[in-house]
């Protein structure tokens, strides 16, 4: 259904590779990401530790995989929830009574009053270190993007001849949504979803940076970058791994989002 441009295909490829690594890694090496080995800290990648060990002697091969799993899961969950809420609210705002539209406008202005990160910061401070509170906060901010796009498209389509003719022919609301609104919204959704996923991961990493995000021992890319920063001179690869992983996963999402090369 989706004709992917070259950039989107390369994005998909990178994402597939990362997913394969994230899910495949635990199968290739036994043990879990939190077992420490205090006598083997900061070892460079070698035979039995393919990606070396971190400052607790934990196996980076498994730990990075777990961090990637967390980021991808957060991205997927946030995109799904915000898309669901955003599109339904958008279509309803465009088709239902005007007071609903004004109400949604008020809510949106309120949320947009503060940059997303500040709001998430406050939410994360309430229940520090909980994945679910972060997920709720990020989705709360991201649904607006979907709301605005779907409302704009639906508003334009309600006046269009196609919808008018379907109404004249006696088709119901659900059919009009399925045949007219959804096919127009869907391609746009893909772009926003891809960028939404990228932003969700970036935001979670940023919160890790300000020590409000995830609590130990959970592995998270942003927190890892901060923890490993002080070892940058005697174990540079330790800092490089989460950095590159984060850059790749965000790059993959952004490439997928870019139909034509922006």
- Show contacts with other proteins in window 88-107 (CB under 8 A): 106
Q: How far is the CB of 20 from other proteins (least distance, A)?
A: 20
185/141 Cα distance (integer angstroms) = 20
Q: Is 177 in the site for other proteins (CB under 8 A)?
A: no
Q: How far is the CB of 98 from other proteins (least distance, A)?
A: 16
Site map (CB under 8 A) of other proteins, residues 120-139, x = contact: -xxx-xxxxx----------
Of 61-69, 73-81, 96-104, 110-118, which segment contacts other proteins by CB under 8 A? 110-118
Backbone angles phi, psi at 214, to 5 degrees: -75, 145
Of 15-23, 71-79, 83-91, 179-187, which segment contacts other proteins by CB under 8 A? 179-187
Nearer to other proteins, 28 or 114 (CB): 114
Nearer to other proteins, 36 or 191 (CB): 36
Q: How far is the CB of 49 from other proteins (least distance, A)?
A: 15
Nearer to other proteins, 151 or 180 (CB): 180
Nearer to other proteins, 91 or 198 (CB): 198
- Show contacts with other proteins in window 183-222 (CB under 8 A): 183, 198, 202, 205-206, 209-212, 215-217, 222
Contacts 24+ apart (CB under 8 A), 207-216: 207/120, 207/121, 207/124, 207/134, 210/121, 212/121, 212/124, 212/125, 212/128, 213/124, 213/129, 213/134, 214/70, 214/129, 214/131, 214/134, 215/128, 215/129
Q: Is 245 in the site for other proteins (CB under 8 A)?
A: no
Q: How far is the CB of 110 from other proteins (least distance, A)?
A: 4
Helices (DSSP H) in the chain: which residue ranges? 6-28, 60-95, 98-113, 116-126, 131-158, 161-168, 173-176, 182-209, 221-229, 236-257
Site map (CB under 8 A) of other proteins, residues 57-76, x = contact: x-------------------
Of 23-31, 37-45, 83-91, 93-101, which segment contacts other proteins by CB under 8 A? 37-45
- Show contacts with other proteins in window 148-167 (CB under 8 A): 160-162, 164-166
Count of beta carbons in the 10 Å neighbourhood of residue 103: 12
Cα of 239 vs its chain's centroid, Å: 22
Contact 124, 213 (CB under 8 A): yes
Number of residues forming the site for other proteins (CB under 8 A): 72
- Show contacts with other proteins in window 7-36 (CB under 8 A): 34-36
| Cβ-based neighbours of 205, under 8 Å, separated by 6 or more | 71, 213, 220, 221, 222, 225, 246
Angle at 193 between CA 181 and CA 84, to 5 degrees: 55
Q: Is 44 in the site for other proteins (CB under 8 A)?
A: no
Residue 184, CA distances (Å) to 41, 108, 154, 200 in order: 54, 23, 8, 25
């Amino acid at each position: 259904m989706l004709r992917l441009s070259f950039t989107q295909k390369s994005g998909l490829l990178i994402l597939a590779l990362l997913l394969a690594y994230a899910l495949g890694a635990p199968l290739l090496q036994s043990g879990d990401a939190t077992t420490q080995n205090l006598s083997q800290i900061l070892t460079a990648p070698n035979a039995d530790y393919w990606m070396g060990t971190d400052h607790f002697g934990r196996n980076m091969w498994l730990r990075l995989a777990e961090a990637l799993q967390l980021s991808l899961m957060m991205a997927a969950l946030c995109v799904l929830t915000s898309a669901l809420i955003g599109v339904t609210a958008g279509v309803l705002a465009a088709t239902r009574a005007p007071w609903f539209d004004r109400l949604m406008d008020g809510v949106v202005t309120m949320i947009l009053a503060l940059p997303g990160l500040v709001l998430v910061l406050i939410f994360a401070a309430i229940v520090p270190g909980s994945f679910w509170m972060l997920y709720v906060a990020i989705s709360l901010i991201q649904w607006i993007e979907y709301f605005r796009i779907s409302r704009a498209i639906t508003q334009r389509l309600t006046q269009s001849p196609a919808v008018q003719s379907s109404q004249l022919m006696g088709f119901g609301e659900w059919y009009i949504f399925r045949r007219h609104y959804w096919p127009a919204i869907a391609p746009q959704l893909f772009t926003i979803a891809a960028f939404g996923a990228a932003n969700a991961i970036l935001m979670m990493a940023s919160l890790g940076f300000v020590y409000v995000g995830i609590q130990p021992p959970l592995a998270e890319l942003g927190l890892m970058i901060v923890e490993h920063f002080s070892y940058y001179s005697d174990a540079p690869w330790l800092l490089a791994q989460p950095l590159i992983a984060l850059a790749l996963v965000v790059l993959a999402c952004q490439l997928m989002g870019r139909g034509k090369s922006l």
